[in-house]
């Protein structure tokens, strides 16, 4: 490739990376690492991707008006990104100290097909009650999985997972193996 083609391809690559980041945020399925601190580090890196991309793009633009506008937009995106990174650093420190997040306590797990269904007990904090969350986890690579939240029940401390062979799904019940919701 010649130099001019590479110069045109670079901004498109950065734009594609930003659009992929936005798609990851809006998708119903999210990638998660088995090691909890990596999730926080990945979120912090994705938050900083947009300001860095806009600054890089502002340096590449030759037209003065567009360069000034892009620089202003880049400066506007730095403040929320830095605030997010600052706020995400506190749970990161907690996760590094505990090696798991304190609010996600695994309660039960069940394998159905190629997916793992895991039930987590979530702490709502000092002024809130417990809740349970059923997640479907599909392994992608070692240490990386796709996670989809299937169901959340508030004001619940314990629940059970039962396999429903007739429907090929998993049930979430507050009583042992009473089928309530089929998935």
Specify whether 21 is located in the same domain as 69: yes
pTM (two decimals): 0.65
pLDDT in tens, 78-132: 889 899 888 888 888 877 777 554 457 788 888 877 778 888 888 766 666 778 8
| Domain range for 112 | 104-182
**In a shared domain, residues 51 and 122:** no
The CA-CA-CA angle for residues 149, 88, 18, to 5°, reads 75
How many domains are there within the chain?
A: 2
The verdict on 94 and 78 lying in the same domain is yes
Q: Which of 42, 59, 41, 50 is nearest to 18 (CA)?
A: 50
Q: Does 1 have pLDDT greater than 70?
A: no
Determine contact, residues 134/150, Cβ cutoff 8 Å.
Answer: yes
> Domain ends where: 74, 98, 122?
98
Asked whether residue 119 falls in the same domain as residue 77, the answer is no
Last residue of a domain, one of 51, 73, 98: 98
């Amino acid at each position: 490739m010649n130099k001019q083609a590479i110069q045109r391809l670079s901004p498109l690559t950065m734009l594609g990376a930003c659009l992929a980041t936005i798609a990851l945020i809006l998708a119903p399925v999210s990638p998660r690492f088995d090691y909890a601190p990596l999730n926080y580090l990945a979120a912090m890196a994705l938050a900083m991707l947009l300001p860095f991309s806009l600054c890089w793009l502002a340096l590449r633009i030759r037209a003065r008006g567009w360069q000034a506008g892009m620089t202003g937009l880049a400066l506007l995106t730095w403040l929320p990104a830095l605030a997010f990174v600052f706020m995400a650093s506190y749970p990161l420190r907690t996760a590094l100290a505990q090696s798991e997040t304190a609010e996600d306590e695994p309660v039960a797990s069940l394998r159905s097909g190629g997916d793992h269904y895991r039930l987590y007990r979530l702490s709502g904090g000092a002024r809130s009650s417990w809740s349970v969350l059923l997640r479907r986890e599909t392994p992608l690579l070692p240490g990386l999985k796709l996670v989809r939240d299937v169901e959340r029940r508030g004001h619940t401390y314990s629940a059970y997972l039962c396999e429903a062979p007739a429907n090929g799904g998993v049930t979430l019940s507050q009583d042992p193996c009473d089928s309530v919701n089929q998935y």
